[in-house]
Structure 1
Amino acid sequence: MASQLRGNDLRQLGFPEGRAIGLALAQLQRKHLKKLSQTDQLTLLKELLANPASYLTHLDWSHTAAALLPPPSRHIALTERKEYAVFGAEYIEQGAIHQMETAMKLPVTVAGALMPDAHHGYGLPIGGVLAVDNAVIPYAVGVDIGCRMALSVFALPPRYLEQRVQELRKLLLDNTKFGNRDVFRHGQKLGHAVLDRPEFQEIPFLRNKLDTAAAQIGSSGGGNHFVEWGVVDITDPSNELGVPVGQYLGLLSHSGSRGLGASIANHYTKLAQDTCQLPAEARHLAWLGLDTEAGQEYWTAMNLAGDYASACHHQIHQRLAKALGERPLAKVENHHNFAWKERLVNGREVVVHRKGATPAGQGVLGIIPGSMTAPGFIVRGRGEAASLASASHGAGRQMSRTRAKQELGEADVRRYLQQHGVELLGGGVDEAPQAYKDIHQVMQSQTDLVDVLGSFTPRIVRMEGGV
């Protein structure tokens, strides 16, 4: 093992006084770097010092490299606020409005819109849609990259839910896993091509993320993530699903990219904040230019996380369809917490961030869930330019998690669920139906954005914990 380098050793190399020395010394304490000889450590540090820009996306040295680069002569100034559309303004809290106002002052911002389920988040509000020029904002995508909805419709009547309730409950318990600790064991795991993707080796930051991704695939996160049986009611005879008008057994899931997406979001947000220094109120909106190596790396990693999230849903539905002994008549899937390259009506190419917003381009299908005791809706997008071809991603919270825990009792929540004929496996009071807005009011606020093809009403809901 190499003898330990000290601050003076780095100063003699030419390291400037400040954060870079402390960051570098801390990194050298990592197990795989401590094994290097002192000569090899010094050689590595010389290379880093000579060309810090080339290490900005390195797994070990990105933050040290950022500290070595000269700081901007001043903060990047915000500009005059651009106009943006708000849908369902009467249902949106002031904190979300303030966050959107700040986002519309970024110099890279081109256009924006706020959905009726919007509420306060980090950086961009949840329910915020932001179009920017040649850049991507990790916290405008969100921590749970590629979080999505997936629905399977089965050729079984709604009475199946009452007749086989114990069987359906057991299928959920046996075939779903939630949170960080409750994952499928080795013999239960399903393979997926996403785990063989070259990005896990080509992007330095992702090289040690494959094991976590492989361990968590096919599982769901905590919080508001769920897998549930319910009643699908198809009401539009011209629907693209090829399913006749009527009622069916349905399976609906909501989850994202698990630990993989969270680690990507946090790593590249810190990198963006190191290199894009905004005023305090906008610091979570730091961006990476798509003409930079870091920006291209994040874009590639974001797309990988989105595909991974989709793979998790496919495995959830695959397991449950097989256990049920049925093939679905139709499937619908859409994601939020993502960024897309799209063109505005004037032909300008932009990067559209939808943080908790459903893609609603012309003819695009999606699912907008309600709460455990309220229906969700199968929708077809209308491609409305004012909303940047977007719609809400759910009912949206009207109570924070903290407030819900303070004001709602577990017994009251269970009684409320029972009154609505809903069985909850797991979950907590922070996800109580009373903590959410009225989905019917939300949908009424976006009739120009989507057409409704049908609904999904939950009956047996599985969430993290408690079972």
Structure 2
Amino acid sequence: MAKNTTKLHGKDLRQLGFTDDKQISLALDILDQRELRRLDKGSALALLRDIKADPFKYVRDPTWRPLAQELVPQPSREVRLSPEVKDYRRYGDSFIEDGARRQMDTAMQLPITIDGALMPDAHQGYGLPIGGVLAVDNAVIPYGVGMDIGCRMALSVFDVPPRYLEQRRAELKKLLHHHTRFGGKEVFKDPYDDAVLHRSEFKEIAVVRGRREAAINQLGSSGSGNHFVEWGVVDITAEDNELNLPVGPYLGLLSHSGSRGLGAAVAQHYTKLAINRCPLPPEARYLAWLDLDTQEGQEYWAAMNLAGDYASACHRDIHRRLSQALGEKPLAKVENHHNFAWKEELADGREVVVHRKGATPAGRGVLGVIPGSMTAPGFIVRGRGERDSIQSAAHGAGRRLSRTQAKQQGSEGELRRLLRDQGVELIGGGLDEAPMAYKDIHQVMEHQRDLVDVLGSFLPKIVRMDAGSGGKSKYGGE
């Protein structure tokens, strides 16, 4: 039998510049697959030459991905932190726990860090603390954005007097039951077909392509933990306000949720990738970044923006369903997000990537909602564009107790009494989200007077959260 002269050997690949035995073995194994055996020797060599010259072009190719990933340049092992902590502004310093300060100090030692700030609601998280704002040079830190990408607040204000909350309480409670979904199991039988579901990223990026079906099913639903949908009283106090609303009370609908399973999948995938690409000391491990000049960095940036837009679509659906059920069109809406990264300019004109993990954008004239707890008011605010805070503000009251501590230190009876005394009805929820677990929102707002102007408030009255087990809530409601 004549010898097959088209088959490549290791020496052929070495002549192309392949020096690693693992890479050579991978290339030969792939070429031995049935669909590639028909390639003549010249075509095979040309293909391998192209892959070696630009492996980034092939990292999403299902056939050549293993080889391309081996060929992608790796950073030198162990990225060193700066011995000095860059200066940054802390708001309500005595109000912030040591763990959050230590995490922010570490973030300010990254070689890519340019500026930072810590908000008064700050508490310890993973990587960047919750309430941390970090400006870096041409890079993005997946865990500096966080797991729940694009998590946001959305408020609708209705031309309905607040007495409606007492006169029609049972009806409003039913609307929350029928038109909201929470946690990992509750979905709508008739999910809304939002344009975001047809974005090209769902075809172009593998990690989100695999989440599209779940994203369709979860559209309009809310997460567990501190996510909620609630009816309450909006009180507009500033005569000069961008909402064009007269001073006075209104019925309001406030929601807090993020990008659901889609955002979590993006965060997990690219955090793992960043940690492998950018090995840091143990204390900084979750601050690993992706350079925006790389394909991985560009992929994450596109996936992050998709997840943020998906989170916004979920809120649109929540407010659409409840507005229609109520039979009222909102007079005004306010929406803002956190757990995101933005390309912005600093005062000196430098373009940076600003991470706001649990921090609200507060550029001059930018509107937002900063919630308190289920028994404390939230505030409608207008940003003042403060440079020292990198045009940011707190995103809520901030946790005073961890979830475990809240469960250990609180009691069901105490929570029931507090809710009754404040005239709040809770559907779902649990001790881990009890008001006692949170800081005093009024103190938080006092520490950021230079960052935002208050236009009004929102006081919750009927709150729905995930019931955890999916059964009836122990704290009122079903």
Assess same fold via TM > 0.5.
Answer: yes
Task: Report whether the alignment pairs 1:76 with 2:79.
Answer: yes
Letter in structure 1 aligned against 2:160: L
TM-score normalised according to structure 1 size: 0.89
Are 1:119 and 2:135 an aligned pair?
A: no
- The corresponding residue for 2:368 is 366
Within-5 A mapping of 1:43-58: 53-56=56-59
Question: Does the 8 Å CA contact 1:15/1:49 hold for their aligned counterparts?
Answer: no
From 149, 153, 156, the equivalent of 2:153 is 149
* Separation (CA, whole Å) in 1 of partners of 2:412 and 2:58: 50
**2:276 maps to amino acid:** D
Matched, 1:346 2:343: no
Q: Which residue pairs with 1:172 in the alignment?
A: 176
Residue number in structure 2 paired with 1:332: 334
Q: CA deviation at 1:122?
A: 0.8
**Which AA in structure 2 matches 1:74?**
R
CA RMSD in angstroms comes to 2.8
1:293 corresponds in structure 2 to: 295
Q: For residues 33-432 of structure 1, what are the structure 2 equivalents within 5 Å?
A: 39=34, 53-56=56-59, 72-79=75-82, 80-185=84-189, 188-432=190-434
Instruction: Output one character per residue of 1:152-176: Cα deviation in whole Å (capped at 9) or x when no partner.
Output: 0011111110000000000000000
Distance 1:60 1:317, change over 3 A: farther
Separation of aligned partners in 2, 1:112 and 1:348: 14
Deviation of 1:442 after TM superposition, in Å, equals 0.3
Give how far 1:142 is off: 0.7
Amino acid at match of 1:288: L
Deviation of 1:419 after TM superposition, in Å, equals 1.6
Question: Alignment partner of 1:177: what SS?
Answer: coil
Partner of 2:388, secondary structure, is helix
Report whether the alignment pairs 1:440 with 2:442: yes
Q: Which moved more, 1:92-101 or 1:53-62?
A: 53-62
Query: Does the 8 A contact of 1:179 with 1:220 survive in 2?
Result: yes
8 A contact 2:51–2:57 mirrored in 1: no
Deviations 1:221-244 (A, max 9, x none): 011000000000000000110110
In structure 2, what is the Cα distance between the partners aligned to 1:432 and 1:460?
Answer: 14
How far has the Cα of 1:49 moved from its partner? Answer: 9.1
- How far apart are 1:370 and its partner, in Å? 0.1
1:2-51 CA-to-partner distances (Å, cap 9, x unmatched) read xxxxxxxx9xx999799xx9xx9xxx9xxxx9xx995459999x979957
Cα distance in 2 for residues equivalent to 1:338 and 1:49: 34
Report deviation, 1:69.
Answer: 5.5
**8 Å CA contact 1:81, 1:101 repeated in 2:** yes
Question: What amino acid is aligned across from residue 448 of structure 1 in structure 2?
Answer: D
Distance 1:220 1:59 in 2: 34
Question: Deviation of residue 410 (structure 1)?
Answer: 2.1
Q: CA deviation at 1:57?
A: 5.8
Q: Using the alignment, how far apart are the partners of 1:178 and 1:432 within structure 2?
A: 18
Q: Distance in 2 between matches of 1:162 and 1:415?
A: 19
Matched residue type, 2:79: I
In 2, Cα distance between equivalents of 1:120 and 1:62: 37
Q: Shift of residue 55 of structure 1?
A: 5.0
1:125–1:401 distance in 2 versus 1, CA, 3 Å: same
Change (3 A) 1:298 1:94: same
> CA offset at residue 180 of structure 1?
1.1
Which moves more between the two structures, 273-282 or 439-448? 273-282
Structure 2 runs not aligned, ≥5 long = 1-9, 468-472
Partner Cα distance (1:453, 1:258) in 2: 30
Secondary structure, aligned partner of 2:126: coil
Residue 318 of structure 1, CA deviation: 0.4
Equivalent pairs: percent with the same residue? 65
CA deviations over 1:400-439 (Å, ceiling 9, x no partner): 0111112212232122211211111001111111000000
- DSSP-derived class of the 1:310 partner: helix
Q: Could you tell me how far apart the structure 1 residues matched to 2:367 and 2:65 are?
A: 40
Matched-pair contact (CA < 8 Å) for 1:57–1:294: no
The one-letter amino acid paired with 1:428 is G
Q: Secondary structure at the match of 1:130?
A: strand
Paired with 2:340 and 2:440, the residues of 1 have a C-alpha distance of 25
Aligned partners of 1:61, 1:333: CA distance in 2, in Å? Answer: 43
Deviations 1:380-414 (A, max 9, x none): 00000000000000000010011111221223212
Contact 1:336 1:359 in 2 (8 A): yes
Unaligned runs of 5+ in 1: 1-9
- For the structure 1 residues 295 and 410, does the alpha-carbon distance in structure 2 shift closer, same or farther, using more than 3 Å as the test? same
> Per-residue displacement from partner, 1:68-95 (whole Å, max 9, x unpaired)?
6675443111112210000011111100
Which structure has the larger Rg? Answer: 2
| 1:355-374 Cα distance to aligned partner (Å, 9 max, x none) | 00000000000000000010
Does the 8 A contact of 2:158 with 2:250 survive in 1? yes
Amino acid at match of 1:104: M
Question: Do the aligned partners of residues 327 and 430 (structure 1) sit closer, same or farther apart at CA in structure 2, a change above 3 Å counting?
Answer: same
Distance in 2 (alpha carbons) for counterparts of 1:450 and 1:316: 27
Amino acid at match of 1:85: R
Amino acid in structure 2 at the alignment position of 1:300: A
Question: What do residues 269-308 of structure 1 show as CA deviations (whole Å, max 9, x unaligned)?
Answer: 1111111111111110111111111111111111111110
Whole-Å Cα distance in 1 between the matches of residues 175 and 429 of structure 2? 17
Report what 1:4 is aligned to.
Answer: none
